[in-house]
């Protein structure tokens, strides 16, 4: 089969500057991948993170080699063979790998005329609501963003912390959202002792769980916090690849799996099942991504306990549509489009 491949960079403006404990982002650089068989076209995207050693430029540098493997194999259904050969051709670079993985899965299931979640045999009614993220800002502005999220119908919020006014922030958000489901993410900002002090405070605000309270390299610190925390702990920066799952199970309650960290849809599925086998709950998160990538992650939603798939919702304008996420509800039930449900918007 003759497959045609291409890629291009997308520079996407955010609706608001997005700040976490280690920096601010005003645009997102995604790299779009297309794989076509002459009748159908598969679409995927990379949303590289410098924190994990990737940029749009590094993705663009390795994609020709990865796509050459796809063209050489020439069969979008030969996912295992392509994945194996790509791993031998280009090591690491997970965002680049997953862009190809998403496009291949989209193409393969379009050829079969089934949505990807049906191809996997998943229950479209078993999807958790995605959280909507409130990035760091002035306390008043975070309060305003919370009010806007509630007005948009969101029932779950994730609040970024890691400042000297964390209690003030949570107090302000609970003031305008007393009943909303609330999670917090420190993005490695606290020491173990700071984490425990802050978590004791957060427990009074009915927070569901705390994500990555201490730096990933401080494995002992994460274990120390986990053993003493009154709230469940989710591992994000500590949970990158399949090999991390056994360690995460010793130091956390929830594994946060991201396509851009693990490098493929098949690898994400392996991580989900490994996490379950180790007694972990599972969340799927994202970077700031176009629906060209988010749509594929949404197809995994029936396998999750928690979803944090709001990346496209943070964009001012996304040239691609995907799975409906009205008010944070990931709606696979009415998705009649085959593939990942991604589509170009006019």
Residue 337 has what pLDDT? 84
Q: Please state, in angstroms and rounded to a whole number, the distance separating the CA atoms of residues 97 and 7.
A: 13
Residue 335 has what pLDDT? 65
Contact criterion met (CB below 8 Å) for 14 and 25: yes
Q: Please state, in angstroms and rounded to a whole number, the distance separating the CA atoms of residues 150 and 156.
A: 9
Q: Please state, in angstroms and rounded to a whole number, the distance separating the CA atoms of residues 12 and 6.
A: 19
H or E element at residue 193: helix 192-202
Q: Please state, in angstroms and rounded to a whole number, the distance separating the CA atoms of residues 288 and 293.
A: 10
Beta strands in the chain (DSSP E): 4-20, 23-36, 41-46, 132-134, 156-160, 181-185, 207-211, 233-235, 254-258, 281-285, 306-307, 320-321, 325-326, 329-330, 343-344
Q: Please state, in angstroms and rounded to a whole number, the distance separating the CA atoms of residues 330 and 295.
A: 10
In the numeric block, which tokens belong to residue 185? 């993410």
Q: Please state, in angstroms and rounded to a whole number, the distance separating the CA atoms of residues 81 and 83.
A: 5
Residue 1 has what pLDDT? 84
Contact criterion met (CB below 8 Å) for 59 and 260: no
Q: Tally Cβ neighbours within 10 Å of residue 331.
A: 16
Q: pLDDT tens per residue, the chain (346 residues)? A: 899 999 999 999 999 999 999 999 999 999 999 999 999 999 999 999 999 999 999 999 999 999 999 999 999 999 999 999 999 999 999 999 999 999 999 999 999 999 999 999 999 999 999 999 999 999 999 999 999 999 999 999 999 999 999 999 999 999 999 999 999 999 999 999 999 999 999 999 999 999 999 999 999 999 999 999 999 999 999 999 999 999 999 999 999 999 999 999 999 999 999 999 999 999 999 999 999 999 999 999 999 999 999 999 999 999 999 999 999 999 998 766 899 999 999 7
Contact criterion met (CB below 8 Å) for 309 and 298: yes
Nearest alpha carbon to residue 282 among 332, 235, 240: 235
């Amino acid at each position: 089969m003759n497959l045609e491949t291409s890629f291009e960079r997308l520079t996407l403006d955010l609706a608001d500057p997005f700040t976490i404990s280690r920096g601010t982002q005003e645009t997102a650089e995604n790299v779009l991948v297309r794989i076509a068989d002459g009748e159908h076209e598969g679409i995927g995207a990379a949303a590289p993170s410098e924190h994990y050693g990737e940029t749009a430029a590094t993705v663009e540098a390795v994609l020709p080699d990865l796509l050459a493997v796809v063209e050489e194999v020439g069969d979008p259904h030969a996912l295992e063979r392509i994945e194996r050969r790509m791993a031998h051709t280009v090591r690491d670079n997970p965002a680049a790998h997953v862009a190809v993985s998403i496009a291949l899965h989209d193409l393969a299931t379009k050829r079969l005329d089934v949505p990807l979640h049906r191809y996997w045999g998943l229950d479209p009614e078993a999807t958790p609501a995605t959280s909507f993220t409130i990035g760091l800002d002035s306390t008043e502005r975070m309060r305003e963003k919370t009010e806007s999220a509630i007005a948009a119908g969101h029932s779950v919020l994730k609040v970024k912390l890691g400042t000297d006014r964390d209690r003030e922030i949570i107090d302000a958000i609970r003031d305008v959202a007393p009943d909303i489901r609330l999670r917090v993410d420190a993005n490695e900002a606290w020491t173990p002792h700071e984490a425990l002090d802050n978590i004791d405070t957060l427990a009074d605000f009915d927070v569901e769980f705390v994500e990555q309270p201490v730096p990933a390299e401080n494995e002992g610190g994460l274990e120390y916090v986990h053993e003493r925390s009154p709230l469940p702990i989710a591992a994000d920066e500590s949970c990158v690849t399949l090999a991390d799952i056994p360690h995460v199970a010793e130091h956390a309650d929830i594994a946060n799996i991201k396509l851009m960290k693990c490098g493929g849809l098949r690898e994400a599925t392996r991580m989900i099942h490994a996490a379950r086998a180790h007694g972990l709950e599972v969340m799927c998160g994202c970077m700031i991504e176009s629906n060209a990538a988010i749509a594929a992650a949404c197809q995994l939603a029936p396998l999750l306990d928690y979803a944090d798939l709001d990346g496209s919702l943070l964009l001012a304008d996304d040239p691609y549509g995907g799975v409906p996420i009205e008010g944070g509800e990931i709606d696979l039930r009415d998705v009649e489009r085959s593939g990942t449900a991604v589509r170009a918007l006019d």
